[in-house]
Amino acid sequence: MTIERSTNNRWSSNFSFVLAATAAAVGLGNIWKFPYIMGENGGGAFVLLYLLFIFLIGVPVLMAEVLIGRRGRNSPGYAAAKLARESGVSSAWQVTGWMGLSAGYIILTFYAVIAGWALSYVFKSASGTFVGATTETVSATFGSMVSSAPELLLFTTLLIASTVFVVGKGFKNGLERAVTYLMPILLGLLVLIAIYAAHIGDFSTAFKFMFYPNFSALTAQGALIALGHAFFTLSLASGVMIIYGAYLPKGASIVRTSIWIALADTLVALLAGLAIFPIVFGFGLTPGEGPGLIFQTLPLAFANMPFTTLIATTFFVMLVLAAFTSSIAMIEASVAFAEERFRLKRWHAAITSGTLLWVLSLGTIFSLSGAGWAQLDWNFFGKELDSIFAAIDHLASNILLPLGGFMAAVFTGWVMKRRFTEEELNMSSKGYRVWQFCVRYLAPIAILVIFLQLLGIVNF
């Protein structure tokens, strides 16, 4: 039925695995979402809690997923099926993998559209749109982009086509090579912008805001947002870490690489905050702006700086790179699946997956542009879902991700034979016990709490 991911398909080194997994993890979540949710939830205390969740729950679940991938050596669904067989439990457990695969794919249908916004902003910045911009022109620019179907179509199509191109070229020549070049460029650009922001903006207020924990500003809802974001930002429960684990050589340490990935992802999120908040505070903007934070306030700040065009273009190029390397990772799992299931050649698999993705992305594009057929009037456990975009975002990010993380933790913590997980993790017995405690109790319970909260079943 399945083909093992062949032994030619292995990361060239542990470092290139860490780099690629970091590239998958670092995306719009770090640069677009983290700063604004931190801004809305009071800064320092939120950051502290987020760090706690990343290392106590994110890292153990990340290890669980890489372990499933490396031992299963297949795309997520088949990998989980194989491990269920190996441990002699019901084959229904393979749903752990299939759910991740679908969640990643569904996320990509709107992620590609938002990445398209960033791409569009590269062209806008480079053509000088933001020189002399005012609050009105910046929000008009944003509003007209978001509601223009042709513009969204153009940039989403460009983004999906480039993703297909890279992944179609194969694992080594396409994916691995692309992230090896793109990640260092991304990091370099981010550091440059952070230095520039510290120079031109209000660094000390920003630093205090991010690192001085004011617990009175933290609510239970904020704590739950921090936990959800820990999953989203590490790309957990999306099939990604399973498929990347499938390319990990036998001898590599899952523990050490997972910790590095989480550290690097966290570092980028904090750096993004340090690049954005000095500008926000220095130019009299407010940290609680919401999702429009970087698209609507930063161009305004850039407009008031020297070198507007250069700075704005650099910033949005960096955002595109971050989103692009995440998109590559998301599509990889589906391409690997199509290769295995339908025995397609890599190029055919990539083009098929990309075409389907493009069709599905129309749901988000026309939700934004206001087309009647894409608007909904749903109430899902008390949550208003007014468009296809709102519905798939909510379904994937708030339901499939927590559920998928829960299952990966339970599957490796309770269902797989201990001997197998021990063999893959290869840790000291004390270290193993800590990991086991996290995936058996800490992660499932925490996820259950956030899940019930998001469904509105309990309310804190």
Query: Which residues would be at the binding site for ligand TRP (CB under 6 A)?
Result: 24-25, 27-30, 104, 107, 232-233, 235, 238, 240, 326, 329-330
Q: Please report, for residues 223, 224, 257, 330, the alpha-carbon distance to residue 51 in angstroms, rounded to integers and kept in the order given.
A: 11, 13, 18, 24
**Cβ proximity to ligand TRP, 62 vs 390, nearer residue:** 62
**Cβ proximity to ligand TRP, 24 vs 99, nearer residue:** 24
Least distance to ligand TRP, CB of residue 119, Å: 15
Helix (H) / strand (E) containing 233: helix 220-233
Distance CA(326)–CA(445), nearest Å, equals: 28
**Cβ proximity to ligand TRP, 100 vs 278, nearer residue:** 100
Distance CA(41)–CA(288), nearest Å, equals: 8
**Cβ proximity to ligand TRP, 133 vs 331, nearer residue:** 331
285 three-class SS: coil
375-380 vs 383-387, strand pairing mode: antiparallel
Least distance to ligand TRP, CB of residue 208, Å: 25
**Cβ proximity to ligand TRP, 25 vs 368, nearer residue:** 25
Least distance to ligand TRP, CB of residue 309, Å: 26
DSSP 79-132: HHHHHHHHTT--GGGGHHHHHHHHHHHHHHHHHHHHHHHHHHHHHHHHTTTTTT
Distance CA(177)–CA(171), nearest Å, equals: 8
220 three-class SS: helix
**Cβ proximity to ligand TRP, 279 vs 323, nearer residue:** 323
Distance CA(202)–CA(104), nearest Å, equals: 38
**Does residue 333 contact residue 354 with C-beta atoms inside 8 Å?**
no
What is the Rg, in whole angstroms, of the alpha carbon atoms belonging to the chain?
A: 21
Least distance to ligand TRP, CB of residue 235, Å: 4
Least distance to ligand TRP, CB of residue 134, Å: 30
**Cβ proximity to ligand TRP, 162 vs 233, nearer residue:** 233
Least distance to ligand TRP, CB of residue 324, Å: 11
For the stretch 157-196, what's the b/e string if a residue is b when 16 or more beta carbons lie within 10 angstroms of its beta carbon? bebbebbbbbbbbbbeebbbbbbeebbeebbebbeebbeb
**Cβ proximity to ligand TRP, 44 vs 76, nearer residue:** 76
Helix (H) / strand (E) containing 44: helix 44-53
Least distance to ligand TRP, CB of residue 232, Å: 5
Least distance to ligand TRP, CB of residue 90, Å: 27
Distance CA(274)–CA(277), nearest Å, equals: 6
**Cβ proximity to ligand TRP, 264 vs 303, nearer residue:** 264
Least distance to ligand TRP, CB of residue 325, Å: 8
Q: Please report, for residues 42, 205, 218, 371, the alpha-carbon distance to residue 38 in angstroms, rounded to integers and kept in the order given.
A: 6, 14, 10, 33
